[in-house]
A and B are shown apart, each in its own frame.
Chain A
C-alpha cells in the first residue's frame, strides 16, 4: 500500500518522468517552463517592447516632449473627458478645453502627455536597471567572498551588511544631488568632470543618484548569495575541485557563480518596482528629475496634486508604470519558478 502510493504520487506530480527517458538539460527545461508560463511570456514581451519604446522614443513620439504650447495647457481630447467624468468639457458647462491634437491630453504647460510618457520610459527604465544592477554587482561580490572565504571575513562582511540596512539613503541622495548639481554645473567643457556631468544631465540628473541608491540597497542580495554559496560549496564537485588543488578564483567564477546566478538575478528583478517607486518618492519631495526631462515618477507626483481636476495627467503615466511593474513582477515570478529546481514538475 505504502509503496504503491508513493509511486502514484510521484508519477502524478512529475508527468514527464515515466514517459521520457532521455535526460532533459536544466537550461532547456527552464526555458520550456518559462515559455509555458503565459504571464511570464507576456511580461517579457512588454518589457522588450518598453525597451524598444525607450530606444526609438524620438521616432515614436508624435511630438517633442519639451515643446510647450501654453494656450493648450490642460486641454484634453473628448474621449478623455468621457473616461474621467470629473473633467467636464467647457462646452458642457465644465472647465476642460477640448483639443483633439493631443492623444491623452496636454499637461499643465501644454506639452503632449503621450509623448512625455514615451520619453519618460527612458529615465524610468534607466532607474529600473541601474539601481538593481549596481546592487547586484556589490551584493554578489560581497556575498561570494563572505560565503566562500568564511571565518572572520564572513563575519565582518555580514556585520557590515547589518549596518547598511540602517543606512540613511535619503541623506546620501541629497549629498549626491548637491554635488552633481552645484559642483558639476560649473566645470569647463572638455574635461572628464564635464563628460560625467553631461551623462548625468542626459539622465535628468538621476543616473548617479540611482547608482548611489544601488550602493545602499545590496544587502538582501549579499545575504541571498552567501546562503547559496554556503549550500553550493559543500557539493561534491566543489569539494572535488578543491581537492585537486584548483585555485580559489576559478572555483568561484567557473563553478560556483554559474550555479547560483539564476535565482539571484531573479530575486533582483523582483526589487525593480522599489526603485521606480523611490524615483516617484524623490519627485514628491522635490528631488526628482531635472525638468523638462520627463519620467513617470515625476509625472505621477506632479499630476497627483491635480488629481481632482485633471486626473488624466497622473493616471496615464501611472498606467504605464503599472504595465511595466506588472511585467517585471510576472517575469520575475516566472523566472523563479522556471529556474528553481524544486519547482520542477508542478504544472
Chain B
C-alpha cells in the first residue's frame, strides 16, 4: 500500500509538471495580442458574420473592424464621420454621393502561411474595394430575400427600397447607383438628418460577391472570409472565441488609423468567468458582473481598472394599455411615479445608471434632455400616485381589493429578476397593490409581449442602432413600424405619430428636439404608455497595460488601442 501511494504522488507530480509546461508554452511572446473578455461575453456564440444578417453587438463588433462602412460613428462624440468614403448631399437632401477611398485591397488570412494576404482576381490583379462592392452589399441586404432585419430598416430610406425588400420590384430598381469605380450614389426616399449614418451601417458594408457566389452560406467562415478593414478574421472556434488579426494592407486614415495591436481574441464566456479570467491576468478587458461591483469598487487593484461611462440603451417597462386596470392613464402614471429609481440604481443595478423619465437617451442627436423640459417630466411622488389611483378607484366605485390583479413579466435573467422584485415591492409599499411576477423563457416571452394579450407590465429595453432620437421614438413607437405598444391607439398615440413623423423630416435641430420633447410628454407623462426606468451605463475593466478608448455606442474601435508590452507581466 505504501508503494502504491508513492506511485500515485509521482503520477500527480508528473501531471503538475505537464500542466505547468502547457501554461508556459501558451505565453504570447512579443506580439500584441489583446484578449477581450468583454465584447462577445454573454452570447453562446457570435451568431453570424454576414453584414446582411447581423443584428447583435458581437457580430457587429467584428464586422465594424473587418468591413468598415462608407461612414461611421465617432465612438466618443457620436457624430458621423468619414470612414471608407467622404460624401456630398444634394440640396434637397435626397441624393448622397460617396467618394470611396481608392486602392484599399480585399484581404484574407491564410492559415497555412499564418499571414494576411491580398486577394487577387482571376487575372492575378489585386482586388480593390469598389463602389460595386458596396452596391452589392446594399442590394443583397435589401433585395436578397434573406430576411435581413436591418435591410428592412434601410429599405425605408432608399428609393424603391420597401418594394424591393418585399420582392415586388426587381433589385435593379433600388435607388443605388455605381457612378464609377470609386463613386457610389444613393438616392433617399425622404430627407433626414441622420441618413449619412444609416448609409454607413453594417447592412450597407461592402461584401465580396465572388466569395459569396463560390461558398454560398458558408462564405463568412474563416476558410473563405474576406475583409478590407484594419483587421480581418483569423480564427473562429464556434462557442469559444473569435480572433481578428491586423491587416497590414490597411492604409490608415485620420479616423481609422493603422492598428497597434496585432490580434484581438474575443472570448465567448459567461460574465463571471470573464471576470475570473481578468483577475487571473488571462484577459486584458472584461465586462463587469453585476454581483461583483461591490468587491471591485473596494479592491485597490480592480477599482483602478474599473470604468463607468455612458451606455447605449434605455431600460423601460412596457404596458399593455388595453388591459384593465392599466387601460386608465392614471393607474399607469401612479405606477411610474411610485418607482424610486435612484434607490433601485443604488441598491440593485449599482452601475451608476441614470434615472430615466424620457425614452430616448440624452446622448442621441435631437433627443430632449429631461432637465430642459421639466413640465414634461412625470417625476416621482408617492402621494400624488396614491391620489391618482384613488381617483381611478372612486370613479369605478371599487376598492383596491376589487381591482384586477397586475402581472409584471420579464424574460428570464438574474438582473431582470432583481429589478422586477424590487419594483414589485415598491408598488406594494407605495400603493398597496399586489403584483405577480411572471418569468418567461426568452422565445416564449417575445411572443407574449408582442401579442394583443400581452401582460399588463413587461420589461423591455432598446439600444441605439444609430445615434438619433428617431431610432428610439419613431422606430419603436410610431404606428407604421410599431415594435411595442400595440394596443396604444388613442388620440394621444395619433398625435405622437404625427409629432415623430414631423420631426423625422424637420431640418432644424432645435425644432426637432422640441417635437421629440412633446412626443415624450405624450408617451411617458400625459398618457404614460410606458414607464422609463433608467439609462444604461457601460461598465468595464481594463488592465493597466492597455491604452484604449471607451465607446458610447456598443462597439469598440480596436485600431485605436494599444498594449504596453513592457508593463504586461
| A residues lining the B interface (CB < 8 Å) | 66-68, 70-71, 73-74, 86, 88, 90, 93-96, 108-110, 174, 177-178, 181-182, 185-186, 201, 286-287, 290-292, 302, 304-310
Contact = CB atoms under 8 A, between A and B. Distances in A.
A287 B441 contact: yes
Nearest to B292: A309
Interface in B346-402: 346-348
Counting chain B CB atoms within 10 Å of each CB, the highest count among A90, A185, A302 belongs to A185
A109 B295 contact: no
Contact of B453 (A95, A186, A308, A309): A186
Contacts of A186: 453
B457 to A, nearest CB: 13
Contact of B298 (A95, A182, A308): A95
Contacts of A286: 412-413, 439, 441
Nearest to A72: B347
B159 interface: no
B380 to A, nearest CB: 15
Contacts of A178: 440-441, 444
B445 to A, nearest CB: 9
Contacts of B436: 201
B568 interface: no
Nearest 7 CB-CB pairs, A to B?
Answer: A286-B412, A95-B298, A306-B291, A70-B347, A309-B295, A95-B294, A178-B444
Nearest to B442: A286
A108 B293 CA distance: 12
Interface string B40-75: 000000000000000000000000000000000000
Counting chain A CB atoms within 10 Å of each CB, the highest count among B298, B407, B420 belongs to B298
B417 A291 contact: yes
Nearest to A298: B417
A305 B295 CA distance: 13
B271 A177 contact: no
B421 A305 contact: no
Interface in B396-445: 407, 412-414, 417-418, 420-422, 424-425, 436-441, 444
A142 B437 CA distance: 39
Given A178-B440, A185-B438, A308-B272, 14 more contacts: A68-B422, A68-B425, A71-B343, A108-B291, A109-B348, A178-B444, A286-B441, A287-B441, A290-B438, A291-B421, A305-B289, A305-B291, A306-B272, A309-B292
A73 B348 contact: yes
A306 B288 CA distance: 12
B297 interface: yes
B224 interface: no
Contacts of B418: 108-109
B414 A302 contact: yes
Nearest to B279: A308
Contacts of A308: 272, 275-276, 279, 292, 295
Nearest to A310: B291
Nearest to B343: A70
A327 to B, nearest CB: 30
B189 interface: no
Contacts of B438: 181, 185, 290
A174 B294 contact: no
A70 B348 contact: yes
Contact of A182 (B346, B425, B437, B444): B444
Contacts of A292: 421, 424, 437
Contact of B439 (A74, A110, A290, A306): A290
Interface string B287-312: 00101101101110000000000000
Contacts of A90: 298
A74 B276 contact: no
Contacts of A290: 437-439
A174 B440 CA distance: 10
A96 B294 CA distance: 8
A108 B298 contact: no
Contacts of B422: 68, 70, 109
B448 interface: yes
A94 B295 CA distance: 8
B439 A291 contact: yes
Contacts of A96: 294
A74 B421 CA distance: 15
Interface in B442-483: 444, 448, 453, 455
Contacts of A287: 412, 441
22 contacts: A68-B421, A86-B295, A90-B298, A94-B298, A95-B297, A95-B299, A108-B418, A109-B348, A109-B418, A109-B421, A181-B439, A181-B440, A182-B444, A182-B448, A286-B412, A291-B420, A305-B271, A307-B272, A308-B275, A308-B292, A308-B295, A310-B291
Contacts of B343: 70-71
Contacts of B347: 70-71, 73, 109-110
Nearest to B275: A308
Contacts of B348: 70, 73, 108-109
A10 B289 CA distance: 65
A317 to B, nearest CB: 15
Contacts of B271: 305
A307 B271 CA distance: 13
A110 B421 CA distance: 11
A74 B294 contact: yes
A89 to B, nearest CB: 10
B414 A305 contact: yes
A160 to B, nearest CB: 29
B75 to A, nearest CB: 29
B447 to A, nearest CB: 9
Nearest to B303: A95
B292 A306 contact: yes
A305 B287 CA distance: 14
A309 B439 contact: no
Nearest to B295: A309
A108 B348 CA distance: 7
A57 to B, nearest CB: 19
Contacts of B346: 70
A177 B291 contact: no
Contact of B440 (A182, A304, A305): A182
B278 to A, nearest CB: 11
Given A73-B348, A185-B407, A291-B417, A95 B441 contact: no
B425 A309 contact: no
Nearest to A73: B347
A290 B408 CA distance: 12
Nearest to B272: A305
Nearest to B419: A109
Contacts of B289: 305-306
A108 B414 CA distance: 11
A93 B441 contact: no
A71 B425 CA distance: 13
